[in-house]
Amino acid sequence: MTKSESVVRRGGNVFTPALHLYYPLAIAAGRGVRVESVEGKTYLDFSSGLAVLNLGHNHLRVIEAARAQMENLVHTGGIYYSDTVVKAAEKLVSVTPAGLDMVFFSNSGAEAVEGALKLARYVTGRQGIISFTGGFHGRTLGAVSVTTSSARYRKRYLPLLPSVYQVPYPSCFRCPFQQAQSRCDQLCLDYLRDFLERVIYPEEVAAMIIEPVMGEGGYVPAPPDFLRELRTLCTQHGIQLIFDEVQSGMGRTGQWFAAQHYEVSPDILTVAKGIASGFPLSAVVAGKNLMSRWEPGAHGTTFGGNPVSCAASVATIAVIEEEGLLPKVRAAGKTVLSRLRAIAAECPVIGDVRGFGFMIGIEFVDNTGAPDGAACQRVLDFCLQNGLVLIECGPKRNVVRFVPPLIVSDTDLDCALSIFGDGVRSLR
């Protein structure tokens, strides 16, 4: 039995099988873009710990900031102010879209989504919430109520939060109305407008929550016109527009937030994953106009805004700024996209390559165009054997997420693309 197998077996004795891990691999250490298994084998980690490690594993500046904070103060428990925590909020609002200038810190993406939904209901006094089919917003009961990337996340948890509705997400490669993109004429928006006449009046809707670039549901960027018109519709009716940028935020797409690519600002933004390079931290960010109406005690937390996580967050943002990573990621993302499209042009098993920056999805299809999760998994297994960790997403698990750390070098990108290309060609 290998050392990994032994760790996996021990894990099987103490972890519920509900906790599904991607690979039966135990790692001992991580540095930058690489992890080392307990057997001593090195892998290029292009999963970035589920799109969290934008600066790679154990970035020295982040570790140093966290260590220094740990030596002074680890926990405030929502009792005291801490300069570090205030600094983290100030730093965060310096990179969020204009007007989003107040923060509520929590620990995980799902918690931030809960906070955003509560804030929207609180300030509007309305009940209805609309989310978009295929979206993923987390596992807690409120978050899972707006999550429809897979019925597996909702199975046996019904009934969920009442007054939550779903309308189609504009996934152009798999159009919910079977239209070609050029002929669609914004049918998803028509559907939504019709929904607001037939199912729930807009004045009863507190919020619409959407991932501007869908993550778990298949790495699908929304068309810009759709988000612009959604913004207009929400403003018109006093509906709070929530952008869930837990996965697409903090530089992943080559802008701090995908909202900035689209030049569309939400009323409420959820942030987590990349915010603190692996230390647990998340945030609800909104304008003072909303946040100041969320009265004292209306929401709270014991661990949210942990000073060590906040120190890591301040360092994370500083490194992204000082190293000019965002323009680098925008440029490198375009190159990667075209190189992946070149592989797709040779290999019909890839039906679509899409995304921004280092949030790129590669969709595997069979010869009828249907999702091909088995082909996708064979390529992922090939990559793992050859020292490259990639993970999948999508309801049929047929989309590879290409999400390297933002600090990845050109040489490591070349190496990963070469392994991935060999994996795809090996299917023939």
Ligand X SMILES: Cc1ncc(COP(=O)(O)O)c(C=O)c1O
Q: Which residues bind ligand X (CB under 6 A)?
A: 108-110, 113, 136-138, 211, 215-216, 244, 246-247, 272
Smallest separation (angstroms) from ligand X to the CB of 113:
6
Which tokens in the block code for residue 227? 């988000």
Q: Which one, 196 or 272, has the nearer CB to ligand X?
A: 272
Smallest separation (angstroms) from ligand X to the CB of 272:
5
Three-state DSSP class for residue 216 = coil
Q: Which one, 146 or 325, has the nearer CB to ligand X?
A: 146
Q: Which one, 89 or 110, has the nearer CB to ligand X?
A: 110
Cα–Cα distance measured from residue 32 to residue 11, given in angstroms and rounded to the nearest whole number = 26
Smallest separation (angstroms) from ligand X to the CB of 271:
10
Q: Which of 406, 374, 119 is nearest to 248 (CA)?
A: 406
Burial class (CB within 10 angstroms; exposed 0-12, middle 13-18, buried 19+) of 44: buried
Cα–Cα distance measured from residue 389 to residue 394, given in angstroms and rounded to the nearest whole number = 17
Smallest separation (angstroms) from ligand X to the CB of 247:
4
HEC assignment per residue over 18-64: CCCCCCCCCEEEEEECEEEECCCCEEEECCHHHHCCCCCECCHHHHH
Cα–Cα distance measured from residue 353 to residue 351, given in angstroms and rounded to the nearest whole number = 7
Smallest separation (angstroms) from ligand X to the CB of 178:
26
Beta bridge partners of 131: 166, 209
Dihedral angle of Cα 89, 91, 93, 96, to the nearest 10 degrees? -130
Is the CB of residue 275 less than 8 Å from the CB of residue 298? no
Q: Which one, 144 or 365, has the nearer CB to ligand X?
A: 144
Q: Which one, 216 or 372, has the nearer CB to ligand X?
A: 216
Cα–Cα distance measured from residue 239 to residue 270, given in angstroms and rounded to the nearest whole number = 16
Measured from each CB, the residue nearest to ligand X is 109
Where do we find the tokens 């993970």? 391
Q: Which one, 53 or 365, has the nearer CB to ligand X?
A: 53
Is the CB of residue 246 less than 8 Å from the CB of residue 271? yes
Cα–Cα distance measured from residue 365 to residue 398, given in angstroms and rounded to the nearest whole number = 7
Q: Which one, 118 or 349, has the nearer CB to ligand X?
A: 118
Separation in Å, CA 342 to CA 112, 347, 348, 352, 390? 38, 9, 11, 11, 19
Smallest separation (angstroms) from ligand X to the CB of 130:
16
Smallest separation (angstroms) from ligand X to the CB of 216:
5
Smallest separation (angstroms) from ligand X to the CB of 1:
31
Where do we find the tokens 């310096």? 94
- Which phi-psi region, left, alpha or beta, contains residue 125 (left: φ > 0; alpha: ψ -120 to 50)? left
Smallest separation (angstroms) from ligand X to the CB of 389:
17
Smallest separation (angstroms) from ligand X to the CB of 136:
5
Where do we find the tokens 């999702």? 371
Q: Which one, 116 or 379, has the nearer CB to ligand X?
A: 116
Q: Which one, 221 or 423, has the nearer CB to ligand X?
A: 221
Separation of first and last alpha carbons in the chain: 33
Cα–Cα distance measured from residue 370 to residue 75, given in angstroms and rounded to the nearest whole number = 50
Largest CA distance in the chain: 63
Q: Which one, 246 or 320, has the nearer CB to ligand X?
A: 246
Kindly report the backbone phi and psi dihedral angles of residue 103, in degrees, each rounded to the nearest multiple of 5, phi listed first.
-130, 145
